[in-house]
Structure 1
Amino acid sequence: MTARTTPYHPGERAVQARAGRTDRADHSGRAVGSTVPPVAARFLTERRVLVIGAADADGRLWATQLSGPAGFLRAADERTVTVAARPAEADPLAAALAGPAEVGTIALDPAGRRRMRVNGRSTPDGRGGLVIDADQVYANCPKYIQRRHPVDRPEAGAPRRVAAGPALSTAQQLLVSTADTFFVATVGPDGRTDASHRGGNPGFLRVLGPDRLRWPDYPGNNMFMTLGNLEVDPRAGLLVPDWETGGALLVTGEARTDWSDPAAAGLPGAERVVELTVTGVVELADATPLTWTDPEYSPANPPAVRPPA
């Protein structure tokens, strides 16, 4: 794959080279397209939730979630995805997505352990939704996705902010430390935003303090789009869903990758470690009108901690 045709920017290339995965990344990169194929269009139409990442007016990155009945996501054509939803007023991305914005999105099917990313430029549709002009479209492998099924909550109200601050409260730290899934938004040197999924056994996302989080970087598709973005821009936004209540914890900050052997030594399966310095937290109740069944953990999940000898 030549530089002219590669989907990767220099930060991604640098990480791929450091990890010794350039050839594998070139192979994986062939799956990155700029159009939505028919099978992907059908997949989107069946989804109930879309995770979306973008920057707010202050340049801080956030990841949040939009939801609706099946059909609220549609591929209007091979280059356009419509979303019949926008962030509620309580959401830190409400103002940003009220106008044009670079966005990264990921549609997840926990029940089928499938996921698909669509990155591009979002504009309001004038009817309370969004239109995304796609420039990157690709599917990911099923690794680390916990199997769950959605359950509607007819009593759910509009999303509302129940807490906000510069760091995690004790209760929020507990939610984070027991999470088995989160999503992370990052941005590349050209302003393109990406949203990615991270999964593992409870405890894989570690709380080091009210303003510090750490997680292992497990083997994946070798594209290193998240780490490649962090190589050139440390801004990151995390979404930690509360699958039991429909709530969500949104965290923004700056992240760095620790490539040292000691950092990954106590984390089975970790090839390296990412550490986030938290600068802002927003907790939403009724972030979606859904709850989810108890998880069936992915067989790919490594143990969250190394067992004692």
Structure 2
Amino acid sequence: MTTSDTLFHEGELMAQRNAGERDIAVRNGATVGRTIIRGALPFVRQQKTAYAASLDPNGQVWASILLGEPGFLAPSDDAAMLSVDLGQVAKLNADPFWENIRHDARIGLLLLELQSRRRLKINGEAHLEGERLEVQVTKSFPICPRYIHRREIVLADAGEATPSSTSSRGNELGPAQLELIADADTFFLASAHATRGADCSHRGGPRGFVRHAGDGVLRIPDYNGNSMFNSFGNFLLNPQAGLTFPDYERRRVLQLAGTVEMMWNQADPQGLTGGTGRFWEFKPSHWIESELPATLQTKFIEFSPFLPSLPEVN
């Protein structure tokens, strides 16, 4: 068994072969480690936002947004642990994350600095100790900045913000939820593997790149990425997924839970996938919409220069 075979689980290997990108995955996999890269420790300490994948008691995966103050993420000196100070996080009471971390240790964190497009994954097992979440790192690596739209996000005194208790929820997407999704240019994706843990990824595209295919199903193009297929590899073995759509301008966030079906080698005459021919469909079973803190301030700077063009829909 090669090193790359032990680095990737069976679902990831299958996805890499399906896409014909196995060699690229092996090269990019050289950046994956069992500790946080030493050079990234200052970056971790200065972050104000983390995106998290967690699992509820039924095994459903959820994606969450943690808005904090610089310093709420504290890596250990040996880079093998990450301490998350939840007392410095602006809480959304309806977010399943707060209960999930009490029941399942698996967690996937994505540190993404939208303004600079720098991002880092930290996956591991988390244990709650008072107001701190102690994460034993099992996998960490930097990932490419493609498809990230530059934004500035400011939330002063996040730990002092009144917890958001205004929320709505349901099982079927209504007009308000579909409108938010249709206007989105960014969402965050959570997936999980039985033994390798949870994973959180970023997805960006032109406004409207996530389309309603009818009956509540969302159809999403899959662009060229790092070829490791962490999310798709998980979905081949466990179709449970969580999607979170932030609406920074209106200070809203929509969390979806459901299942994924992947489609390979699809005809794409409009070039929606940027040449990959890959789509995936998401069928939500639950949704939660919450208000982001009233003191949150955001500024859109620019779209990613890597976006494929999106044809007009009549």
Q: TM-score range by the shorter chain?
A: over 0.9
Query: Within the alignment, does 1:304 sit opposite 2:304 as a pair?
Result: no
Q: Distance in 1 between matches of 2:206 and 2:15?
A: 26
What's the C-alpha RMSD, in Å, of the aligned pairs? 2.3
Listed one character per residue, the Cα deviations across residues 28-57 of structure 1 (whole Å, up to 9, x for unaligned) are 111000111232111111111111111111
Q: Tell me which of 114, 119, 132 is aligned to 2:135.
A: 132
Q: Does 1:174 align with 2:179?
A: yes
Number of the residue aligned with 1:66:
66
Q: Is 1:277–2:305 an aligned residue pair?
A: no
- What are structure 1's unaligned runs of at least 5 residues? none
Equivalent in 80, 96, 102 of residue 106 of structure 2? 102
Match of 1:144 in 2: 147
Change (3 A) 1:251 1:124: same
| Residue 163 of structure 1: aligned partner | 168
What does residue range 259-274 of structure 1 map to in structure 2 within 5 Å?
259-262=264-267, 267-271=272-276, 272-274=278-280
Displacement after TM superposition at 1:246 (Å): 3.1
CA offsets per residue over residues 243-291 of structure 1, 9 Å max, x none?
A: 1133211000000111142367551505200100110000111268533
Q: Do the aligned partners of 1:119 and 1:137 also contact (CA within 8 Å) in 2?
A: yes
SS of 1:149's equivalent?
Answer: strand
Structure-1 residue corresponding to 2:84 = 83
Structure 2 CA distance for partners of 1:136 and 1:264, relative to 1, 3 Å: farther
Q: Distance in 2 between matches of 1:156 and 1:54?
A: 23
| Corresponding position of 1:41 | 41
Deviations 1:83-126 (A, max 9, x none): 11265432122211135520111010010011110001111121
Q: Which amino acid aligns with 2:201?
A: S
Q: Secondary structure at the match of 2:44?
A: helix
Change (3 A) 1:247 1:277: same
Aligned partners of 1:184, 1:157: CA distance in 2, in Å? 27
Distance 1:31 1:191, change over 3 A: closer
- SS of 2:57's partner is coil
1:241 is paired with a residue of what secondary structure? strand
1:253 corresponds to 2:258: yes
Q: Is 1:198–2:203 an aligned residue pair? A: yes
In 1: Cα distance, 2:92 partner to 2:102 partner? 10
Greater mean deviation of Cα atoms: 237-246 or 83-92: 83-92
1:291 paired to 2:292: no
Distance 2:294 2:64 in 1: 10
Aligned counterpart in structure 2 of residue 216 of structure 1, from 212, 221, 224: 221
**Amino acid paired to 1:203:** G
SS of equivalent to 2:309: coil
Kindly indicate whether the alpha-carbon contact (under 8 Å) linking 1:268 and 1:304 is maintained by their aligned counterparts in 2: no
Runs (5+) with no aligned partner, structure 2: none
In the other structure, the counterpart of 1:118 is: 122
Residue 237 of structure 1 contacts residue 252 of structure 1 at CA under 8 Å; is this kept in 2? yes
- Whichever residue aligns with residue 218 of structure 2, its letter is L
Distance 1:260 1:50 in 2: 33
Deviating runs (4+, > 4 A) in structure 1? 153-156, 263-266
Retained in 1: the 8 A contact 2:182–2:210?
yes
Give the distance between the partners of 1:281 and 1:100, measured in 2 at CA.
21
In the alignment, the residues of structure 1 paired with residue 96 and residue 260 of structure 2 have an alpha-carbon distance, to the nearest angstrom, of 19
SS of 2:31's partner is coil
Distance 1:32 1:18 in 2: 22
Give me the whole-angstrom Cα distance separating, in 2, the residues matched to 1:190 and 1:179: 32
**Mapped partners of 2:162, 2:82: distance in 1:** 26
**For the structure 1 residues 4 and 304, does the alpha-carbon distance in structure 2 shift closer, same or farther, using more than 3 Å as the test?**
closer
On the 8 A contact 1:215/1:275 being kept in 2, the answer is yes
Q: Contact 1:12/1:224 (CA < 8 Å) preserved in 2?
A: yes
Report the alpha carbon displacement of residue 68 of structure 1 after superposing the two structures with TM.
1.1
Preserved CA contact (<8 Å) 2:92 2:290? no
